[in-house]
Structure formats: structure tokens, C-alpha cells
Amino acid sequence: MHEELGVQIATGSAIPLCRLDAGRGGESVRLSAWLVDQWQGTPTNVAPDEHDEIRWFGPEELPPFAHELLGTALVDAMRGARP
């Protein structure tokens, strides 16, 4: 997270929400979502060549997701449901 967002995650504070593998060979991607509730620093776009935008979202403001399961996991976590 430090090289992507400029933050240090507190040990043991990251909870995996979901992981999805899609595609095959050179066209495959892995999507994962984590819930992190303790970090140091201010999240910023430290890698602008890799990310279009990084900002805080409320559940109703989230953009469309590549996969429904990923969106469901994130919205549930944002609304307080824990895995």
C-alpha cells in the first residue's frame, strides 16, 4: 500500500473481503478487495501512471465494478457488515 497509496497499514488490520480470478493466460486478471481499518499517512495517488483517480467514496457513490461480487463485498463492508 505504501508504493500505491503512500500509507503504512497496521499489522493485522487488513481483512480480505473477496478475491476473483478472471480470464486466461496473458489476459487474466486478479481482483481483490480488503477492509483496512488502521493505517498511518494520508492516501494519495503515488502511482498516477497506474491509477486514474484515488478518493473516498460513500456506498452510493461507487463506480461500476468489473464484477458484481466485488461490488457487493465492498458495499457490505462499507455499510458495516463484516465477513
In this prediction the pTM is 0.60
List of domains in the chain: 2-78 (3.90.79.10)
* Predicted local distance difference test score (pLDDT) of residue 81: 55
Compute the distance between CA of residue 50 and CA of residue 10 in angstroms, rounded to an integer.
24
Burial profile 30-51: b = 16 or more Cβ within 10 angstroms, e = fewer: eeebbbeeebeeeeeebeeeee
- Indicate the range of 15-19, 30-34, 41-45 predicted with least confidence: 30-34
